[in-house]
Amino acid sequence: MAPIIGVFDSGFGGLTVLRELLQVVPGADYLYFGDTARLPYGSKSAYTVARYANSAANFLERHGAQMLVIACNTATALAFDEIRAGTRLPVIGVVEPGAGRVAAISKTRRAAVIATEATVASHAYQKALRRHGIEATEKACPLLVPLVEEGWIDHPITEQVAHIYLDEIFNDGAQGADVLMLGCTHYPLLSPLLRRVAPPAVQIVDSAECTAGRASAMIQQLGPQSKSSGSLRYFATDSVEKFRRLGSRFLGREIEKVELIDIEEQVGE
């Protein structure tokens, strides 16, 4: 029987983590929970984020999840310990795997991190990288998420905005950095554009890809994998049609069905 993996995010961005998981562990069964009724998490307090995340984790556990992947940088940054304490399941977040990858490849021991304002304010990546002996300079890039959700993945305006952000971080504090950490799960969709904009010698690390790689080892311990593709179920707390439309872009494949979840009745608010 295939292991059942619960993947949680405040919205669509975590689908980039699921996309990577499907590449490395296609035989697992996946439950994806997008808390679209309560996003963005970035404007919420750590207490509220933890409460929302724990309710989603409990929902996934009740639906048979054997492991949780917190595919949300804000939830990982603000509430990872609380999420882990609130469940009996093994839990993996998106911050530590990315930090570990940066530490493995950086020669200068300096890195630049771009993320949302909430993630940068938490300094979660800076702290995680410091534990690995890496000095990190962080930069909030609030315009990139709406540009991605607008579908302007390779638009000249998006490239201009990215240029402004990256020029600022590499010219103001991140001199000598040889790695750029993408600290938001929306940003992998911009990887080709960011590759053009970032200094040529800088390597780019995608937290979604790193998280999937770390999770795959844990998934293997849950049981044998199916030789065929496993199942996929999607849950959203609001805007099911928007989830299908935008989510397909993030996942790289069509999303045919999304189950609408009533927060008060099923998630336990």
Query: Tell me, what amino acid is at 243?
Result: F
184, 240, 255, 267: which one is catalytic?
184
Cα 146 from Cα 159, distance rounded (Å):
14
Catalytic residue, chosen from 22, 72, 166, 182, is 72
Residue 227 confidence (pLDDT) above 70? no
Do 4-93+210-267 and 95-207 come out as alike in CATH topology? Answer: yes
**Domain residue ranges of the chain, discontinuous segments joined by +:** 4-93+210-267, 95-207
- Give residue-wise pLDDT tens across range 134-157: 999 999 999 999 999 999 999 999
Q: Is the pLDDT of residue 19 over 80?
A: yes
Residue holding tokens 């402004």? 164
User: Could you read off the pLDDT of 24-61 as tens digits, one per residue?
Assistant: 999 999 999 999 999 888 888 889 999 999 999 999 99
95-207, what's its fold? Answer: Rossmann fold (3.40.50)
CATH class of 4-93+210-267: alpha beta
184 in catalytic set: yes
SS3 135: strand
Segments of the chain assigned E as strands = 4-9, 29-34, 67-70, 91-92, 110-115, 135-140, 179-182, 203-206, 232-236, 259-260
Question: In 82-117, which positions are buried (b, 16+ CB within 10 angstroms) versus exposed (e)?
Answer: bbbebbebebbbbbbbbbbbbbeebeebbbbbbbbe
- What is the phi-psi region of residue 217: left when phi exceeds 0, alpha when psi lies from -120 to 50, beta otherwise? alpha
| Longest Cα separation, the chain | 52
State the pLDDT confidence band at 269, using cuts at 50, 70 and 90: very low
Give the gyration radius of the chain's Cα atoms.
18
pTM: 0.94
Q: Check if 72 is active-site.
A: yes
Supply angle C-alpha 236, 182, 214, rounded to 5: 75
**For residues 89 and 121, what is the distance between their CA atoms, to the nearest angstrom?**
28
Closest CA to 45 of 97, 98, 82, 95: 82
Confidence category of residue 266, pLDDT binned at 50, 70, 90? low
How far is 9 from 37, CA to CA, in rounded Å?
12
